[in-house]
Amino acid sequence: MRAIFGVVSLLVALAIIGIIAKKQLQAVHNVGASLPPAQTSTDGGPTAAPAASTVRAQSQQMQQRVVDDVNKALQQGADRNQAADK
């Protein structure tokens, strides 16, 4: 009897983990699909999106977007600190 409850509890735990993993993967896929393509170049000027992007180009665009966003956030924080010091 104890062994049956042990097996059933393991199956329930496995089912819960499977459901959570499925939801996480769907969320990651939906976020990636909803992101608009990057429209800025490394110098900040607008550029035209390539007609046939490769996975590598998309990856580099995403990495550049993250770097730009982090730099922008850091600059905003520094501006706030300077404004608070005045």
pLDDT at 29 over 80: no
Q: What is the mean pLDDT of residues 48-77?
A: 85
pLDDT of residue 11: 97
**Cα dihedral sign, 19-20-25-30:** positive
Contacts of 58 (CB under 8 A, 6+ apart): 37
Read off φ and ψ for residue 51, nearest 5 degrees.
-65, -45
Beta-ladder partners of 40: 46
Per-residue pLDDT tens digits for 4-13: 999 999 999 9
pLDDT of residue 52: 58
**pTM over the 0.85 mark:** no
pLDDT of residue 3: 92
Q: What is the overall mean pLDDT for the chain?
A: 82
Contacts of 62 (CB under 8 A, 6+ apart): 35, 38
